[in-house]
Structure 1
Amino acid sequence: MDKLWPSRGAVAGVIIYRVVNACVLQTYFVPDEYWQSLEVAHRLVFGFGHLTWEWKEGIRGYAHPLLFALVYWLLKLFGLDSSFALGFCPRLVMGLFAALSDLCVYRLTAGYLESPSAATWAMLCSLTSWFSFYCMPRTLANSLEAALITVTLSIWFTSSSLRSSKCVWVCFSIGALSVLIRPTSAVVWLVVFGTHLVAATNKLDFILLHVLPVAVIAAFVSVALDSYFYGKFVVALWNFFKFNVLYDLGSLFGTHPWHWYLSQGIPVVFGTHLPLCLLGVVNVPSRRLLLFVVMCCYVVIHSLLSHKEFRFMVPLLPLAAVYAGHFCSTISGKWRTTVLVSLIVFNTPVAVYTSLIHQRGTLSVMRYLDGEAQEGRVESVLFLMPCHSTPLYSHFHHNISLRHLDCSPSLDVDYVGEDDRFYGDPVNWLNESYSHEKELPSHIVIYDLLEKELELLFGYKKYSKVEVFFHTHFHEKRIGQTVIVYRRWSH
């Protein structure tokens, strides 16, 4: 391997590590991991499934779920489309993208900082990050966005002929793909490519020969792709921008103060790597601060939006690893060992707990229901849980009715969603929704928080508790510690 890549043994080790990482993930993180990717892909390939309101309003683009649709199509082609394979294979693909991101962190650091030692440490920092372990192999647009950004930057800052058309076209193309996957990555490219444009001797050629052609092609592909799958003319990127930026309607899903990323988001996501990153920023030569500027701009833009989530900061983890690696390479051997041991000791328990234990019940219950369906014991399922608490057909590959509470947003101030109506009076909602016994589902899934309130009604409706799955040690207002399955006696 050349000096911009680790040894072949290290490459193999990273790939194996991320494959294992993908295999051991047993927990649920956020709905988008399934509902904006795998469920869409399942409907595209197999013709049945549920689409959330975003897909009816044309806010989401199809570039991201098409990756998993390809995986599903191959599984279908070879007759391997079991529920297990549909849930596992996309995550395995994302594990490989995570490995590529780790390796490109090494390449980026080696080229950008011109230090193989810093590159080795940067890759170690990437591999030891608890949030990277927890999030990168998931089928989230944020994880794929992070990988594509890292790949692009590793090419951009290590090419021996940065001004060559080939390098620029490759970087612009991958960068454009990252924007199609998640438009927020445009912030990164405005800073990186904008800085290059300012320094370019022939700005007009750079714009006409590179920026404009790639932008036009990407826009055409985006519109053509989305319009084809939506069955009508749709500009999903523009709709996404209007909804989240111009109208800031993401606030319908929760709001946070402007400083949330600084006070909570980044400290949690970066964890023990945060002080190493900041120390690296302080010690790095001033000409190597562009990636830090990128990070700052990314945080500022996201801070201006009312709705904030931890996962939105995932693309910054590889960049933080670059500076953390630089700092680790500047300290003495004894302190390096101390830092490495500390990273492993503090990150491993958190990574293991969040990836194998915390919020695992909503995946366990889908495996159970799938087994029940294979035995012919499932006619329909009702999920009386907060919206999108479980995946659906991507983990339950049977064309059987799976009903969940609807929580589509509305601008009507007097609108009360189905989920709020249910939690306002669960017994009355069930009696009104299922007034005839023949309409009752064969299985009902709830959190333990509702058990006492509903157990009399379940007994009257001839349901009995059949399974209980541990979910979390930290219950919330509507999320309990266990997931419970009830089944009708007549089934």
Structure 2
Amino acid sequence: MRNVRGNEKGPATISALIMSTPSTPSSPRRRAPQYDPPPTRKVLLYLIAFRLVNAFVLRTFFQPDEYFQSLEPAWQTAFGQDQGAWVTWEWRHQLRSSLHPLFFAALYKAADFFASALDVSPAARAELLIAAPKIAQAVVAAIGDFYTWKLAIRVYGNDSRGSWATLAATVLNPWQWFCSTRTLSNCAETTITIVALELWPWKWSVASTTDGSRDKGTGSQKRGTDSDRRVVSRLHRCLPLAALACILRPTNLLIWITLASFAWLRTSWAQRRVLIGDAVVCGSAVLAVSSIADRLFYGFWTFPPLRFLYFNIAQSLAVFYGSNDWHYYISQGYPLLLTTLLPFAVWGLYRTLTTHSQVGDRVQVAIRVQLATVCLVMPLVLSLISHKEVRFIYPLLPSLHILAAPPLVQYFYPAFNPLAYPRETPRRLILIFAVLVNVFIAVYTTVYHASGPLSVLSYLRVQHNVHSAPTNKASNTVSETGITAGFLMPCHSTPWRSHLVYPSINAWALSCEPPIDLNATQKALYLDEADQFYNDPSQFLHQNMAGGLRHLPRRPSYSTPAYSHLSKPPNQPAQHEWPDYLIFFAQLEPTLRPLLRGSSYGECWRTFNTAWHDDWRRRGDIVVWCLDTSEQDSWRSETQRRVQQSRDRQFDRIVESFKKEAHVPTRGWNALVSSMPWSSTPSTSTLQSWQRSVQSFFAPAPKSSIYWPWRRRSRWENFLARLSPRKTSWVPSWVGDWVPGWLQGRKRRPTEAELWS
């Protein structure tokens, strides 16, 4: 590249241009304020609109914790214990903080009040209750993207290429599109963490042994305190957020221990006293609020973070949900988080930790080094735990975006130069390919992959509205008698009451309670309800279904007024009633078909779920069997109609391809006919007759009216007509559908014109 300034002796690299800030003495013309309110406000509004679209496009299933660690306890808190929410064992043993579900409980109450005020229908109320958490989480995700950009501005300067590259990487990241708008506690943790990181006093993390800030003199400390007044104000806002992130996810403590260690080693004693005092005060305040909320939520005093560590570390219950290799976060975690950004993030980490003379002021260098250290320390510590998931290191993704920005700009920015030579074309193509790959992954994972669990619950809500007539038209309330549904799936394969909504939908599912308070031998032999079913479906249905496989219902419950529902909580092992709708993955269909052959169950709906799955129990479509014969007939007719339409479209494509082959240009016909050994240069009328004959050959026509244009070759035609069938037995039988009978040696009926000739 060419020199940025003429008086510089060496070439200026793009990374040097990125990391230069407007506060450096070498750029006096760029002393504008770092935070410009109008562009900042516009960026935030654009991000909110973008994440709202993201949230409403999202219709796939990722993790059960998205619903069972947030929305289900929130539903029970907002509407009561009799509304059918599925509260898992973690909440019964006080492993989770109540702050996260209380946030969504408030949203549910507000949405319900809004629906009541507008007097909307039950179906509209259900859609509003489903949309409320999505809207809130979209705003939370947009705030996280916005503060990632603001922290990048602190590192690379306002209006720098590095900050805008960070924002572009955040918006185009498929993992962000796939996960950021979900109601997982990890998503809220990520947003809270990046906001707190932007407010963290990074100036205190800079070694300042030469500026006199470590002097013991009172005047020096006073000057330092006066100059750090703004920093202390930011610290007062940072520490409560950091404490809140640690309350939501105790593993977030690894981030703040690392940063606090840097600050402790590089600050003066006065700053250390301020840091410790504020941390104690803010942490105690957040802890007190969390304890009071837990007391109201659980009904007694408890400390969820301590119980979380006890159950997952002391009793090793996390291993019950799977264990991974030690290199999981390196081989799978970071690649899934970053996708096409992985090489640039790795290079940014390496350059940050190995380059001693980095461009930029000391605060910017300290931010990059400490973010890179956190991105290595947290996965290293979490690798010591057997149970690993990508979302556990999700709070590191904004920091990785910031560190990947300089390599991104250094590699791709020359491709944007209009005066660039053609040699930059490969970089442009790589950039276009990377963007298209990210968009494809984002669309596939948010629209198609594992889309069945949400679709089947929408289907059940529709069927509930069809079979539950309103009892009070003025209030649009539905009757208490609703449909019943049973899920023969691995536990927590679908959302629950947050998407079923109606409490009159009596549903049950296979549970997977962990082996609590059992010894090592008992844990090794323990099988939950889902494991028992998949080990022997026939025996499970005999023993755990009311009536076994001998006494099966013949009609749905909503058609029998005297039918009494035996609804039991899904988390209590007991005999399950045979439901009106039986839901399972298509992988189980060959097993259930012979077991329920003599019953009234039949397929009444099916939806695509995924083309592949790492769990063999969740492969294939999601199939719904029901007892209502009218629904079965309707679905059978609909399926036949779709199959017929598919066949018609396929036949139309074949016919169109034949027509295109028949309508060859005249030049092609001349070449075709002239290439024949028996043909001389034909006339225009001969070509036209040849074209018409071939078109009539592909068009449906009576076999007795085939016309061929080369009547002057009658000798050849007569020779073939005299061949006996025995001599032409080499002609395959299937040729008869396409080749005239005289070509196969079969005697054909003479036409009327031939008889009169």
Instruction: Give the structure 2 partner of residue 118 of structure 1.
Output: 162
Instruction: Give the structure 1 partner of residue 381 of structure 2.
Output: 301
Deviates more, 1:350-359 or 1:311-320: 311-320
Amino acid of the residue matched to residue 435 of structure 1? A
Shift in Å, 1:151: 0.9
Q: Give CA-to-partner distance per residue, 1:361-419, whole Å, 9 cap, x none.
A: 01100000011111226422110000000001100111132111011110433322111
**TM-score of the pair, normalised by structure 2:** 0.62
Q: Which of 177, 189, 192 lines up with 1:148 in the alignment?
A: 192
The unaligned stretches of length 5 or more in structure 2 are 1-31, 117-123, 204-226, 353-357, 359-364, 417-426, 469-481, 554-576, 631-757
Instruction: Give the structure 1 partner of residue 455 of structure 2.
Output: 364
- Is 1:402 aligned with 2:507? yes
* Distance change in 2, residues 1:85/1:2 (3 Å): farther
| Preserved CA contact (<8 Å) 1:123 1:325 | no
| Preserved CA contact (<8 Å) 1:27 1:358 | yes
The unaligned stretches of length 5 or more in structure 1 are none
Q: Which of 271, 278, 285 lines up with 1:210 in the alignment?
A: 278
CA separation in 1, counterparts of 2:351 and 2:320? 42
User: Match of 1:150, SS?
Assistant: helix
Deviates more, 1:419-428 or 1:170-179: 419-428
| Preserved CA contact (<8 Å) 1:448 1:484 | yes
Instruction: Give the structure 2 partner of residue 352 of structure 1.
Output: 443
Q: Which of 180, 191, 202 lines up with 1:136 in the alignment?
A: 180
Between the aligned residues of both structures, percent identity stands at 30
CA separation in 1, counterparts of 2:55 and 2:271? 44
For the pair shown, the structure with the greater C-alpha radius of gyration is: 2
| Preserved CA contact (<8 Å) 1:101 1:151 | yes
User: Match of 2:385, SS?
Assistant: coil
Instruction: Give the structure 1 partner of residue 609 of structure 2.
Output: 471
Q: Which of 522, 530, 533 lines up with 1:419 in the alignment?
A: 530
User: CA RMSD, aligned part only?
Assistant: 2.3
Within a 5 Å distance, the mapping from 1:25-174 to structure 2 comes to 25-47=58-80, 48=83, 49-79=85-115, 82-114=125-157, 116-156=160-200, 161=228, 164-174=231-241
* Distance change in 2, residues 1:214/1:325 (3 Å): same
Q: Give CA-to-partner distance per residue, 1:399-441, whole Å, 9 cap, x none.
A: 1321110111104333221111111221232232223346421
| Preserved CA contact (<8 Å) 2:96 2:248 | no
Deviates more, 1:267-276 or 1:215-224: 215-224
Amino acid of the residue matched to residue 169 of structure 1? H
Shift in Å, 1:8: 4.3
| Preserved CA contact (<8 Å) 2:264 2:272 | no
Instruction: Give the structure 2 partner of residue 429 of structure 1.
Output: 540
| Preserved CA contact (<8 Å) 2:606 2:622 | yes
**TM-score of the pair, normalised by structure 1:** 0.94
* Distance change in 2, residues 1:162/1:193 (3 Å): farther
CA separation in 2, counterparts of 1:239 and 1:332? 49
Q: Which of 441, 448, 466 lines up with 2:586 in the alignment?
A: 448
Amino acid of the residue matched to residue 384 of structure 1? L
* Distance change in 2, residues 1:291/1:342 (3 Å): farther
Instruction: Give the structure 2 partner of residue 192 of structure 1.
Output: 259
* Distance change in 2, residues 1:162/1:126 (3 Å): farther
Instruction: Give the structure 2 partner of residue 375 of structure 1.
Output: 466
Within a 5 Å distance, the mapping from 1:1-20 to structure 2 comes to 3-4=34-35, 6-20=39-53
CA separation in 2, counterparts of 1:137 and 1:435? 41
Shift in Å, 1:251: 1.0
CA separation in 2, counterparts of 1:231 and 1:13? 42
Deviates more, 1:70-79 or 1:161-170: 161-170
Equivalenced residues, count: 491
* Distance change in 2, residues 1:229/1:343 (3 Å): same
Within a 5 Å distance, the mapping from 1:255-270 to structure 2 comes to 255-270=323-338
* Distance change in 2, residues 1:158/1:373 (3 Å): farther
| Preserved CA contact (<8 Å) 2:201 2:235 | no
CA separation in 2, counterparts of 1:9 and 1:235? 41
| Preserved CA contact (<8 Å) 1:155 1:167 | yes
User: Match of 2:584, SS?
Assistant: strand
User: Match of 1:471, SS?
Assistant: coil
Amino acid of the residue matched to residue 462 of structure 1? S
* Distance change in 2, residues 1:35/1:195 (3 Å): same
- Is 1:233 aligned with 2:301? yes
User: Match of 2:61, SS?
Assistant: coil
Shift in Å, 1:162: 7.1
Deviates more, 1:208-217 or 1:293-302: 208-217
Q: Give CA-to-partner distance per residue, 1:11-51, whole Å, 9 cap, x none.
A: 33222211111110010001001111111111111112110
Deviates more, 1:157-166 or 1:435-444: 157-166
Shift in Å, 1:83: 2.6
| Preserved CA contact (<8 Å) 2:452 2:608 | yes
Q: Give CA-to-partner distance per residue, 1:262-292, whole Å, 9 cap, x none.
A: 1122112211111111222344435331101
* Distance change in 2, residues 1:482/1:162 (3 Å): farther
Deviates more, 1:46-55 or 1:218-227: 218-227
* Distance change in 2, residues 1:103/1:162 (3 Å): farther
CA separation in 2, counterparts of 1:7 and 1:72? 31
| Preserved CA contact (<8 Å) 1:112 1:157 | no
User: Match of 1:484, SS?
Assistant: strand
Deviates more, 1:320-329 or 1:161-170: 161-170
Instruction: Give the structure 1 partner of residue 401 of structure 2.
Output: 321
